[in-house]
Amino acid sequence: MIRLLFCAFIGFAIAGCSTNSGHVKAELKEFDARYLLKRDWAKGVDSISRAQMQVSIYKSAVFAASDSGDVSSFSLDSGKKRWSRDVGAELSAGVGVGDDIVVVGTLDGDLIALSAEDGAEVWKHALAREVVAPPTISSGYVIAHSGDGRVTALSAKDGKPAWYFDQDVPALSIRGAGQSAVVSGAVAVGFANGRLAMFILESGEMIWEQQIAIPRGRSEISRLVDVDASPLVYGRTMFVASYGKEIVALDLRSGETRWKKDIGTYRDMMVDGQLLFVSDIEGHVWALDRRNGQTVWETDELLGRYLTNPVAINGQVIVGDVDGYLHILSREDGKVIGRLSYDDEPFSGNLRVEDEHLVVLSREGNLASYNLSEIVNK
């Protein structure tokens, strides 16, 4: 029987479980403030408890959804509400956006596609499986990842299934999955058993498959190897991360390993220039040389704070934490150079950056856009 590890304490992924190597939440230290976040706008949506609900940005619009089934769109520049729609069902995952549609998954196993322009329903498909990752929409296809290990590709136009692939799921795995990555007519998908596979997008034929991480340890939790971070493509390299202490750089065409690093994460990674930024399961933030995996810097100031994905904005790096803080880190050495207390609740899903807008969504349903500026004349 498949068991999904889910902790109600903060309602997403594995935060709140005793899986962060016993690290006590680090106390925040004083710092030399050099940058600050200024709010552009703030809006509210219904509260969120599921990890798979996150904000998305598409064509200068922000899209967000709540557990209860409300899906909304806002202007990226002004925050003005463009439209809002109640899909009439509780949601399990969203928001996926692309090809001019917005797609969410329901707890009943349905996929619902709405128009990105006005929120009108485009199609609905009874998948009969709970989707555990925001659907990926690209190149005419919707890719949906279910909790039982099935990946389904559907037509973005009408929701008709094109192909599916079943992968074995371990007895215990983390609830949720990363979004798939579509590139050059193919799609990369990570699985709970530590494997990553590349498929031809149109047919579902497997191009290659790699074992990213192998279960280690005696306890079930120590043997978790879920590939829950979304595969990250940069040039001819794909970066893949597993909860099971492994980050791997793969050749995009062949799947051959270029380098490995013993770092575990379930958060999405980011490339900025020559650097690959990672926030790991223990609370370290890493800057790695994307060419060889060598450590450029690493900071442990935020241990045990269950960090979000790192994002780059205005030449610096930002991560959020379980207490609702946004930490600004120097791109050069990882030192804290700014901080904002955003909310008393954790963030829902990924932080997003588009056109120098940092867009964040909390579990309380607080949605906001910020810009980062340097402090002058201190």
Strands 336-341 vs 206-211: parallel, antiparallel or unpaired: unpaired
pLDDT-derived band at 22 (thresholds 50, 70, 90) equals: low
- Residue 194 belongs to a domain: no
Predicted confidence at residue 216, as pLDDT, reads 81
Q: Same structural domain for residues 99 and 146?
A: yes
- Residue 367 belongs to a domain: yes
Q: Is the pLDDT of residue 309 over 50?
A: yes
Angle at 169 between CA 210 and CA 281, to 5 degrees: 70
pLDDT-derived band at 1 (thresholds 50, 70, 90) equals: very low
Q: What's the number of domains the chain is made of?
A: 2
- Residue 82 belongs to a domain: yes
Predicted confidence at residue 49, as pLDDT, reads 80
Which of 5-19, 209-223, 300-314, 337-351 has the least mean pLDDT? 5-19
Of 142, 174, 206, which closes a domain? Answer: 174
Q: Is the pLDDT of residue 16 over 60?
A: no
Q: Distance between CA 106 and CA 131 in Å, rounded?
A: 7
Q: Is the pLDDT of residue 2 over 50?
A: no
- Residue 59 belongs to a domain: yes
Q: Same structural domain for residues 31 and 92?
A: no
pLDDT (tens digit, 9 = 90+) per residue, 100-139? 999 999 999 999 999 999 999 999 999 999 999 999 999 9
Predicted confidence at residue 13, as pLDDT, reads 43
Mean pLDDT of the chain: 92
Of 140, 174, 208, which closes a domain? Answer: 174
Show the domain range for 168.
Answer: 52-174
Predicted confidence at residue 378, as pLDDT, reads 60
Predicted confidence at residue 51, as pLDDT, reads 65
Q: Same structural domain for residues 43 and 62?
A: no
Q: Same structural domain for residues 28 and 142?
A: no
Q: What is the mean pLDDT of residues 213-232?
A: 86
Q: Same structural domain for residues 39 and 135?
A: no
Predicted confidence at residue 15, as pLDDT, reads 39
- Residue 44 belongs to a domain: yes
- 185 class by beta-carbon count within 10 Å (0-12 exposed, 13-18 middle, 19+ buried): exposed
Q: Same structural domain for residues 93 and 160?
A: yes
Of 155, 174, 193, which closes a domain? Answer: 174
Q: Distance between CA 108 and CA 366 in Å, rounded?
A: 26
Predicted confidence at residue 9, as pLDDT, reads 32
- Residue 376 belongs to a domain: yes
**Which of 176 and 155 is assigned the larger pLDDT?**
155
Q: Is the pLDDT of residue 8 over 90?
A: no
Number of other residues whose CB lies within 10 A of the CB of residue 126: 11
Q: Distance between CA 308 and CA 321 in Å, rounded?
A: 6
Q: What is the CATH number of the domain that holds 95?
A: 2.40.128.630
- Residue 236 belongs to a domain: no
Q: Same structural domain for residues 84 and 44?
A: no
pLDDT (tens digit, 9 = 90+) per residue, 29-41? 999 999 999 999 9
Q: Is the pLDDT of residue 279 over 60?
A: yes
Q: Same structural domain for residues 8 and 76?
A: no
Predicted confidence at residue 6, as pLDDT, reads 42
Residues whose CB falls within 8 Å of the CB of residue 30, separated by 6 or more in sequence, listed in order: none
Q: What is the CATH number of the domain that holds 30?
A: 2.130.10.10
Q: Same structural domain for residues 45 and 64?
A: no
Is residue 252 within 8 Å of 283, Cβ to Cβ? Answer: no
Q: Same structural domain for residues 37 and 74?
A: no
Q: What is the mean pLDDT of residues 66-92?
A: 97
Which tokens in the block code for residue 49?
A: 């408890």
Q: Same structural domain for residues 109 and 158?
A: yes
- Residue 259 belongs to a domain: no
Q: Same structural domain for residues 71 and 36?
A: no
